[in-house]
Chain A
Amino acid sequence: MRHTISVLVENKFGVLARIAGLFSARGYNIASLAVSETLDPAISYMTIVVDAKDEAVLEQIKKQLNKLIDVITVTDFTKKEHIDRELILLKVSCSAKEKPKIENIVEKFVGKIIQCKADTAIIEAVGDQAQIKELLDELEKFGTKELVRTGRIAMEY
């Protein structure tokens, strides 16, 4: 099962390698990872989506993260009220005839066509997991060509 956790870490070089190394050394899977500075430039915020087969594995992941000296706090969003978002860029086939249809679909979501030339449109969209999935499903029939996702970011209410 997938879980979203956030990790506040010291904004020092090598911290990302420590986190990534911990996951690979212990055989945990990262589904997505997003890192950025916070309002305090000495601290970075990581949102990590992990695959954990059961509660015990998730517990271990949190405990092991907490053991790292550069980790300040670990928050598990599984049972917490939170919002999460992801930004995607998507290339989709788009003839002049189909453009209005695609525009219609994209506008239902928080998205827009950024560029459209030579029968290919680049679309940006923001949403939670379900919204992004829905959008991708709806656009599939037009011929999706390339997808880039930022990975999930999350924030507690």
Chain B
Amino acid sequence: MTGAQILIECLKREGVEVIFGYPGGQVLPIFDKLYDVQDIRFILVRHEQGAAHAADGYARATGKPGVCLATSGPGATNLVTGIATAYMDSIPIVAITGQVKTHLIGNDAFQEADVTGITRPITKHNYLVKDVKELAQIVREAFYIASTGRPGPVLIDIPSDIQLQDTEFIWPEEVKIRGYNPTLFGHPGQIKKAAKLISGSKKPLIYAGGGVITSGAHHELKELAEKLNAPVTMTMMGLGAFPGTHPLSLGMLGMHGTAYANHATMESDLIIAVGARFDDRVTGRLDAFAPYAKVIHIDIDPASISKNVQVDVPIVGDAKNILGQLLEEIKKVPDTSDWHKTIAEWKRKHPLRYKDDGKIKPQYVIEQLYEVTKGEVIITTEVGQNQMWACQWYKYLYPRTYISSGGLGTMGFGFPAAIGAKIGCPDKTVIDIAGDGSIQMNIQELGTAVCNKINVKVMILNNGYLGMVRQWQELFYHKRYSQVCITSPDFVKLAESYGAVGIRVTKKEEVRPAIEKALSIDNTVFVDFQIEPEENVYPMVPAGKAINEIIAGLA
């Protein structure tokens, strides 16, 4: 078999059903072999960044590794933002890039870039294939590394001469990497210590992150919360890990979290962190964070533990296993009735709110979107105000239904990610909540969506601004609006020119009918909501402040 055939055979055996990619000079042998492949779908994107995000969206929606493929040089560098996005959010993708012929490497050849060098700090691991005999082993390892432990992107750079070389195909049944052995079960001694802390606590708070979703630990999380009668707050990456409609849910915490989640964090005497990493958007001013709390930290990545916040009981391992172990170990449950009274008071005093007037408020749009869809869809988002409103005003009931670029905060992520999610979950409605700025960063993927009949809905909260930056300039830079006013094309005409459908909404009463109409159309739809231009995201904790120093925004 040639290297190209071996690659494709390996992808099949790994269960790959779709590749997102773009051809080019140094991947011609692979594309030639793909020409005859029936059982792997190929989605031709319009820009390689779209391929990386689509593979990422596919992975987030399905839990399976997403695969993207690009040529050498610019093809590969265009993947970089998508790979970095997946890396920051621990998403399993396998990126395959062509490379110039082996003897030309280092020669500044046409479309040559040191792709393993460029991607080293943004991949979990990467490979440059120098011998076709190693290719099968490398592909096997790549999928194994990407999808186990703390998942992440793995890149395989394959010179075009390697793709053409012949060798015997040997499928490695087993993968053994001596430097890579993720811990899966929690240390029994640590579980005992954690159980003891939990039993003795009065104000426990479960702080759930994306790791719960990765590990599939949402059932165990719910069981734990209900057993302890403990409130649950989620990071942005954790939304969907615990039903947003559950009475114990406090919603999201942090910079744009609910006031009651932040107050609960600051008053709690025991934080049970599950698959979360105490990111600065969550903790605010670190030395003021959760001053009364002991911290139990469950995480599969030892390096996440005590990185930002000093932890009392670290438990390294897979969240699902550890929560199972904990549930068995906890005999005495704490009495949290007083704690809930305090929280209920915060909820009563500081609910999420906005001034609902005659104008189209973005919060209203998302509330209506929830009313119409009831949490039974997959939401992706772009980055900025649209993303934060999507966190605050939509209720996520299941894991893998909220898909957003958390760590890297990549504008332009949501639309291609929606395309990937829709391919992974064809029976689900997939909706990208976008801003007019973000959507223009990968708007070319309209071509991909329409051409491949990938029916996704894009709800553009169009305020004519790069809204989040404008909000910061308003609040912290004396309203000196520097380069945040952004013009857009006519989104309706633009959608139509691609063969999609466009709907413009200029009045509040049109919001719900427009959503209903968009959902009923069997095509990609752009809905252009002309929202209140200077609406802000509240509550807000200014950067560097303690998370209970909240700007509520409403008098």
Contacts and interface: CB of A to CB of B under 8 A. Distances in A.
Interface of A: 9-10, 13-14, 17-18, 21-22, 25, 56, 59-60, 63-64, 66-72
A1 B117 CA distance: 31
B179 A71 contact: yes
Nearest to A56: B306
A69 B302 CA distance: 14
Contact of B179 (A56, A64, A69): A69
Given A69-B145, A72-B178, A59 B306 contact: yes
A68 B303 contact: no
Interface stretch (B27-35, B119-127, B289-297): B119-127
Interface string B111-131: 000001100110011001010
B180 A69 contact: yes
Interface in B269-321: 301-303, 306-307
How would you classify the secondary structure of chain A's contact residues: helix, strand, loop or mixed?
Answer: helix
Given A69-B145, A69-B179, A72-B178, A14 B128 contact: yes
Size class of the B contact interface (CB-based, 8 Å): 10 to 19
A63 B302 contact: yes
A10 B117 contact: no
B303 A60 contact: yes
Nearest to A73: B179
Nearest to B121: A25
B179 A72 contact: yes
A60 B304 CA distance: 9
A12 to B, nearest CB: 10
Interface of B: 116-117, 120-121, 124-125, 128, 130, 145, 177-180, 301-303, 306-307
24 contacts: A9-B179, A13-B128, A14-B120, A17-B117, A18-B120, A21-B120, A21-B121, A22-B121, A56-B306, A60-B307, A63-B302, A63-B303, A64-B303, A66-B302, A67-B301, A67-B303, A69-B124, A69-B177, A69-B179, A69-B180, A70-B125, A71-B179, A72-B178, A72-B179
A20 to B, nearest CB: 10
Contacts of A59: 306
Q: Give the 4 A-B residue pairs with the shortest CB-CB distance, closest first.
A: A63-B303, A69-B125, A72-B179, A25-B121
A7 to B, nearest CB: 10
Contacts of B306: 56, 59
B120 to A, nearest CB: 5
A67 to B, nearest CB: 6
Contacts of B177: 69
A144 to B, nearest CB: 38
A17 B120 contact: yes
A63 B130 CA distance: 30
Contacts of B124: 69
A42 to B, nearest CB: 10
Given A67-B301, A69-B124, 5 more contacts: A13-B128, A66-B303, A67-B303, A69-B177, A72-B178
A21 B145 CA distance: 20
A56 B121 CA distance: 22
Contacts of A9: 179
A70 B179 contact: yes
Contacts of B180: 69
Contacts of A10: 179
A71 B178 CA distance: 9
B179 A14 contact: no
A17 B121 CA distance: 10
Nearest to B149: A67
Contacts of B130: 13
Nearest to B154: A69
A76 to B, nearest CB: 14
B239 to A, nearest CB: 26
A63 B128 CA distance: 25
A68 B178 CA distance: 11
Contacts of B178: 72
A78 B130 CA distance: 39
Contacts of B307: 60
Of B117, B179, B301, most buried by chain A (CB within 10 Å of CB) is: B179
A17 B303 CA distance: 20
Contacts of A66: 302-303
Nearest to A70: B179
Contacts of B120: 14, 17-18, 21
B274 to A, nearest CB: 19
Contacts of A72: 178-179
A72 B181 CA distance: 10
Contacts of B302: 63, 66
A60 B117 CA distance: 23
Contacts of B128: 13-14
B433 to A, nearest CB: 32
A17 to B, nearest CB: 7
A21 B122 CA distance: 11
A69 to B, nearest CB: 4
A50 to B, nearest CB: 16
Contacts of B125: 69-70
B97 to A, nearest CB: 15
Nearest to B302: A63
Contacts of A69: 124-125, 145, 177, 179-180
Contacts of A60: 303, 307
A64 B128 CA distance: 22
B89 to A, nearest CB: 16
Contacts of A25: 121
B178 to A, nearest CB: 6
A10 B116 CA distance: 17
Nearest to A9: B179
Nearest to B301: A67
Nearest to B122: A25
A70 B116 CA distance: 14
A70 B130 CA distance: 17
A21 B124 CA distance: 13
B179 A68 contact: yes
A123 B189 CA distance: 56
